[in-house]
Structure 1
């Protein structure tokens, strides 16, 4: 029985715009499949061939994406894109993207065709390929939060936003890790065909109708928990169960059986952030989750330990860049 790949679900069609996904051996398949689902769903729901999805690589043929899954790609040199078309470059894990960035033929091929596109994007570490190919040089960009420091160090002309889900700078669209490619594709769809169709597609795919590009990747708590490990894991669980209560550093130190000064030093070293900031971040993450569950702002403020709704609104805006009510509305489908 022949192997089934994503290409079997992509119907060839004559349409207004072609979305070309540039891939390479070992690229993250979801960087392609997620955004592709947005564009093909737009075709289905609109009843019109708004998009054609194509996969390109160097060389052409079956491209292994790991786990026994592959895509059949056309050769980069064989395509003739137009100004209405979009190039989206996939990313991959560190070893795979490092090999791709070292592939001078791939970089040259991407560089040659890039100027023919009206819009260029990347998902996750695909931003490294755009930069290495000279396609982006001085733009504001996004990438996976883990790779942001490396991207900024290697390409100092770029302004790397380590928190944004996606960034649009002119005709360059870049997104953060993996699933944010769906957010990027939804934003492109809205730019092309309006909010109504974007909202229908989001509902069909059971994803957020809109997560603003400037919304944080929300990696800080997860990263801190990973760093803290077993030493403070029980404390973090204890804090999460008491976010509606005052949590002073002295209380946290007492729970750990340490002096306040020793606790401050050791917790900061283990988690990567001071304990007071960690508690605030936990409260904000909890508040965001409660808002997305449909609770009113006043209820959320109380459950997150704020003495007033106004104080919560101020803290939420400072942390996420939007007011809590606006955040809830943007996520409504």
Structure 2
């Protein structure tokens, strides 16, 4: 990306603070890994503060009338229904892309309803929070709703599903703007997946394992995520878990379904798959996932997936 991308976040009373904070933190984190890439501002239709649905008072930088702004983020929240009836918000959203080529409208969670109500989603494919799925299909039949998708991109319209999926969409935007390595660095800094597979009703197995009802195993899972490249031995795993090697092996099988070593291998495999799927080259994927060398990663792919690293990358890599 050659120039700084200017992003405005639309605030209204009853906005969900996570819809705002998640994507914005991803863009801010991207700036930390090099030159400034994104300039962020918080706007309202009249420039006055707004109150989030959690009660937090949010100051705005200015009225959203700046023609130099590139992208508009429209979050969701309890105040969406009132925002749909606000003529100033509807006018802003409806005319954002029309005013200048290259602009993007980005909705988070139920913010897609504001876009749909303004007519900008007609004939487009979009997603929103699963809890709103029946309502949007009924109320906005001209939209091609894909409500089980984490996010959906159709031209200059970007929509994401429930709450934290706004981070997923922000990571995808960072990837498209600046490449997969930066997006992956941001994901690791925020301790989230670079690219979640499946729909918004699916839980990733490695993150799910961190919440097993066993503090010792949860500590070990967190350590794997923070330091996948450590030369882990059963003894060092036991030290982190605070258990004897024998007890750790038994409880890991009981709680996770695999031995500690197999659990680590599966976690590294997951990281490698995510990196390869998003266009990261093989040497960097080895480094990211924590495998000691190519042969170790190759054996894991053959053992668990029945394919080679090269075959997997050729089939699934996203080179957009």
Structure 1 CA distance for aligned equivalents of residues 44 and 97 of structure 2: 14
- Alignment of 1:137 onto 2:122: yes
Match of 1:181 among 166, 171, 176: 166
**Taking structure 1 as reference, are residues 218 and 35 closer, same or farther at Cα in structure 2, changes over 3 Å only?**
same
Tell me if the contact between 1:76 and 1:110 (Cα under 8 Å) persists in the aligned partners.
no
Partner of 2:90: 107
Q: Are the equivalent residues in 2 in contact too, given 1:20–1:87 (CA < 8 A)?
A: yes
Match of 2:6 among 5, 18, 21: 18
Residue in 1 aligned with 2:178?
193
| Structure 2 equivalent of residue 237 of structure 1 | none
The answer to whether the aligner puts 1:126 opposite 2:111 as a matched pair is: yes
Matched pairs, number:
220
1:300-311 equivalence runs, <5 A: none
Quick one: which of 13, 17, 20 aligns to 1:29?
17
Task: Say if 2:56 is the partner of 1:73.
Answer: no
Alignment of structure 1 residues 1-333 onto 2, 5 Å:
16-46=4-34, 48-82=35-69, 85-93=70-78, 96-115=79-98, 116=100, 118-212=103-197, 215-218=198-201, 294=264, 296=266
Q: For residues 169 and 114 of structure 1, what CA distance do their matches in structure 2 show?
A: 13
1:219–1:151 CA distance, 2 compared to 1 (3 A): farther
Structure 2 residue ranges without an equivalent (≥5):
204-255, 268-303, 306-311
Structure 1 residues 293 and 29 mapped into 2: Cα distance closer, same or farther (>3 Å)? farther
1:61 is paired with a residue whose SS is: coil
**CA offsets per residue over residues 139-159 of structure 1, 9 Å max, x none?**
110100110121111111111
Deviation at 1:72, TM superposition (A): 1.4
Q: Tell me, what secondary structure is at the counterpart of 1:19?
A: strand
> Does the 8 Å contact 1:145/1:219 carry over to 2?
no
Where structure 1 has 5 or more consecutive residues not aligned to the other structure, the ranges are 1-14, 221-285, 298-311, 314-324
Task: Note closer, same or farther for the CA distance 1:99–1:77 as it changes in structure 2 (3 Å cut).
Answer: same
Give me the CA root mean square deviation: 3.4
